[in-house]
């Protein structure tokens, strides 16, 4: 479950709100209407998920057809198999049957720390609102099966970059301790725009939610101050075995704060 991120595990990745409502009758209608953005694709996914005339297995088949036929695939994840899906919610979003312990092999879970830090290079499949990452081995990136992520393979959803371990821990400490001045001092030193009090409050809320959620998921005996690391557990037909890193902040936020590039 490496790229399936805490945000993918704790959030449904494809929840997008829309004011306009249109009736999708089949995949062909969706394509004729035009799938030109993540929002368009998410809307089509939602409409398929809300259809009462299809079984869950049929909905997944329709989603896979939509994905294969669409010219737009950036950051799109659709289920690879019914075995990984519980069903669909009232808004048509996929409800995945996520494994326990945030997808970690429980015996491998440990704290990210200053002496056991994040990898220099990270990657993930899916939009950057997630907070699950993998390292990139010298032999090449992990497969979907090794990551144990339940999606149709999609290289248009692939992201990679570097972690800034030099100031990551100090930035997390500032957020944890409510020290906006300390965080802004670091950001200024790195040539990054400062954050205002409203943004900082959101950072604190996100961080505190992460600590609570990870304690519920893996137990409070593991220190998640800076996140967790370990190995992805096997799941269904997927082998697991990839390195997995779950951070308190999602990719978009860490990019804003200069933690990743």
Question: How many Å apart are CA 154 and CA 3, to the nearest integer?
Answer: 12
Per-residue pLDDT, 38: 87
Q: What percent of the chain has pLDDT over 90?
A: 84
> Which one has a higher pLDDT value, 32 or 59?
59
Q: Which residues contact 161 (CB under 8 A, 6 or more apart)?
A: 121, 122, 123, 260, 261
Question: How many Å apart are CA 41 and CA 117, to the nearest integer?
Answer: 36
Question: How many Å apart are CA 149 and CA 241, to the nearest integer?
Answer: 12
Question: How many Å apart are CA 95 and CA 139, to the nearest integer?
Answer: 34
In terms of DSSP bridges, do strands 158-162 and 228-231 run parallel, antiparallel, or are they unpaired?
unpaired
Q: Which long-range contacts (CB under 8 A, 24 or more apart) does 196-204 make?
A: 200/175, 203/175, 203/249, 203/253, 204/175, 204/178
Q: Are 64 and 93 in contact (CB under 8 A)?
A: no
pLDDT reading at 79 higher than 70:
yes
Would you state the structure tokens that stand for residue 194, as one six-digit string?
Answer: 């400062």
Pick the range with the lowest mean pLDDT from 25-34, 111-120, 228-237. Answer: 25-34
Computed over every residue of the chain, the mean pLDDT equals 89
Per-residue pLDDT, 35: 86
Which tens digit of pLDDT belongs to each residue from 147-179?
Answer: 999 999 999 999 999 999 999 999 999 999 999
pLDDT reading at 31 higher than 70:
no
Q: Are 249 and 203 in contact (CB under 8 A)?
A: yes
Residue with tokens 């290079």: 121
Q: Are 27 and 47 in contact (CB under 8 A)?
A: no
Per-residue pLDDT, 9: 40
In terms of DSSP bridges, do strands 132-135 and 121-125 run parallel, antiparallel, or are they unpaired?
antiparallel
Per-residue pLDDT, 4: 38
pLDDT reading at 3 higher than 50:
no
> Which one has a higher pLDDT value, 103 or 37?
103
pLDDT reading at 59 higher than 80:
yes
Which spans in the chain are helix H? 6-10, 27-33, 38-49, 56-69, 144-147, 165-176, 180-189, 197-218, 251-256
pLDDT reading at 55 higher than 70:
yes
Residue with tokens 């001092």: 185
Name beta bridge partners: 231: 243
Q: Are 261 and 162 in contact (CB under 8 A)?
A: yes
State the pLDDT confidence band at 34, using cuts at 50, 70 and 90: low
Per-residue pLDDT, 26: 38
Per-residue pLDDT, 36: 86
């Amino acid at each position: 479950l490496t790229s399936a991120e805490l945000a993918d595990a704790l959030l449904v990745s494809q929840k997008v709100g829309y004011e306009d409502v249109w009736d999708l009758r089949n995949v062909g209608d969706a394509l004729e209407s035009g799938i030109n953005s993540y929002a368009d694709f998410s809307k089509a996914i939602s409409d398929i998920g809300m259809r009462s005339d299809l079984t869950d297995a049929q909905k997944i088949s329709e989603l896979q057809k939509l994905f294969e036929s669409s010219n737009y695939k950036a950051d799109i994840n659709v289920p690879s198999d019914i075995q990984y899906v519980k069903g669909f919610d009232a808004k048509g979003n996929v409800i995945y049957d996520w494994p326990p312990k945030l997808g970690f092999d429980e015996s491998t879970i440990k704290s990210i720390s200053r002496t056991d830090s994040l990898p220099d290079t990270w990657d993930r499949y899916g939009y950057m609102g997630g907070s699950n990452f993998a390292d990139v081995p010298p032999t090449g990136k992990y497969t979907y099966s090794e990551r144990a992520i339940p999606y149709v393979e999609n290289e248009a959803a692939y992201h990679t970059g570097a972690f800034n371990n030099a100031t990551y821990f100090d930035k997390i400490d500032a957020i944890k301790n409510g020290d906006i001045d300390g965080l802004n001092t670091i950001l200024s030193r790195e040539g990054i725009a400062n954050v205002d009090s409203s943004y900082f409050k959101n950072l604190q809320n996100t961080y505190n939610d992460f600590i609570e959620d990870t304690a519920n998921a893996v137990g409070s005996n593991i220190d998640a101050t800076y996140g967790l690391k370990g190995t992805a557990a096997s799941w269904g037909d997927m082998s697991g075995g990839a390195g997995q890193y779950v951070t308190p902040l999602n990719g978009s936020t860490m990019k804003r704060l200069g933690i990743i590039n």
